[in-house]
Amino acid sequence: MDVRTALRLGIAQLRASNVSSYTLAAELLLLHATGRTRTSLYSHPEDQLTEVESHNYFSLIERRGSGVPTQHLTGKQEFWGLEFEVTPDVLIPRPETEHVIEVALDRLALRDLRSKHSQNMSGEGLLIADIGTGSGCIAIALAKELPAAKILALDVSTAALAVARRNAARLGLSDRITFLESNLLCTVSQRSPLSVGLIVSNPPYIGHREAASLAREVRDHEPAVALFGGEEGYELYSDLITQSAAHLRPDGILVLELGHNSLPAVQPLLETPAWANVGVTNDLAGIARVVAAERASEV
Ligand SMILES: C[S@@+](CC[C@H](N)C(=O)[O-])C[C@H]1O[C@@H](n2cnc3c(N)ncnc32)[C@H](O)[C@@H]1O
């Protein structure tokens, strides 16, 4: 069978199975099964697949059609221009999480401007904590952008931390990231009080009550500990914000990703004397996606 026919049949099969973005999925699976580049796929559509390539490709199509996410079949997902290994032990990095990185970098630049430092955007002297690091995508993207910063990447899941460690090593960023098993910042608190300059987190924020409305790819294949924050979804934010206040240095920055309906529950938690300059950023769909605040200096 030639490449063009394989792609056409794969697309038709995924479409019939109600897979979203079926064309892209079939293309990614064909690239994965054959080791071809996208350019060669389209410049040589007449190329014949070997029997093994064809068998591998159509079994991937079958599994994708049954609900397995494309990223679990290819084992990877791009985030912030970097390629991350993903397994069923970690949340697949989402594009909207890139807003967390953008807001964090903007807030750091603003703080430096305000304090009249010559813009120290290397992260010199900066300690960052990423709570619920999963694949490590936020910690690693920040390590890449801030080449002198030190980062603590925390997660309750041992299995997720193993994936995050491998991602950091493959991307050559292990030396500045410490991975620690921790319930929020509890492990850190037991060791010593920290003076963190930036805390970032994309916590689990889906409510158990919403489980039935999730796509099967998410509900049946991504780790529950990465998805669900409690019955309503926003339950973890309260402890997350209290513990962050205890570890951030004065003028330290907190940047949190929000669930689609978390803002009304989360914003009041930041309207206390411990926090200043609270700001909300919408994602491309117009949903309040990131909330950021600064640790007030005098409390
Ligand atoms: C929504 S995922 C985010 C993963 C990754 N940071 C990202 O943005 O793709 C939430 C992560 O928080 C972790 N987690 C859940 N509860 C936690 C807790 N109490 N303390 C620390 N990490 C937790 C999960 O294991 C999961 O890796």
Q: What is the pLDDT of residues 190-230, one digit of tens each?
A: 666 668 999 999 999 999 999 999 999 999 999 999 999 99
**Ligand 1 centre distance from Cα of residue 135 (Å):** 9
Instruction: Show contacts of 74-79: CB within 8 Å, 24+ apart.
Output: 74/28, 74/29, 74/32, 77/135, 79/135, 79/137, 79/141
At 113 the pLDDT is: 80
**Ligand 1 centre distance from Cα of residue 124 (Å):** 27
At 191 the pLDDT is: 64
**Ligand 1 centre distance from Cα of residue 163 (Å):** 13
**Ligand 1 centre distance from Cα of residue 41 (Å):** 37
Backbone CA torsion sign across 229, 231, 234, 238:
negative
At 187 the pLDDT is: 86
At 64 the pLDDT is: 98
Summarize pLDDT for 221-274 with one digit per residue, the tens: 999 999 999 999 999 999 999 999 999 999 999 999 999 989 999 999 999 999
30 Cβ contact list (under 8 Å, min separation 6):
3, 6, 7, 10, 36, 41, 57
Q: Name the percent of the chain in helix, strand, coil, to the closest 5.
A: 45, 20, 35
Instruction: For residue 135, give both structure tokens.
Output: 């694949």
**Ligand 1 centre distance from Cα of residue 45 (Å):** 42
At 190 the pLDDT is: 66
At 118 the pLDDT is: 58
Q: Facing residues of 280 across strands? A: 291
- Determine how β-strand 177-181 pairs with β-strand 196-201: unpaired
Atom of ligand 1 nearest to the CA of 130: 6
Pairwise CA distance, residues 151 & 149, whole Å:
6
Pairwise CA distance, residues 217 & 20, whole Å:
10
| Amino acid at the residue 101 | I
The residues of the chain scoring below 70 in pLDDT are 116-120, 190-194, 298-299
Q: Which residue's CA lies nearest to atom 19 of ligand 1? A: 183
Q: Give the pocket of ligand 1 (CB within 6 Å).
A: 91, 93, 97, 131-135, 137-138, 154-157, 160, 182-184, 202-204, 225-226
Which residue among 76, 225, 243 has the greatest number of ligand 1 atoms within 8 angstroms of its CB, and so is best to mutate? 225
Pairwise CA distance, residues 29 & 23, whole Å:
10
Grouping H, G, I as helix, E, B as strand and the rest as coil, residue 90 is coil
Pairwise CA distance, residues 259 & 246, whole Å:
24
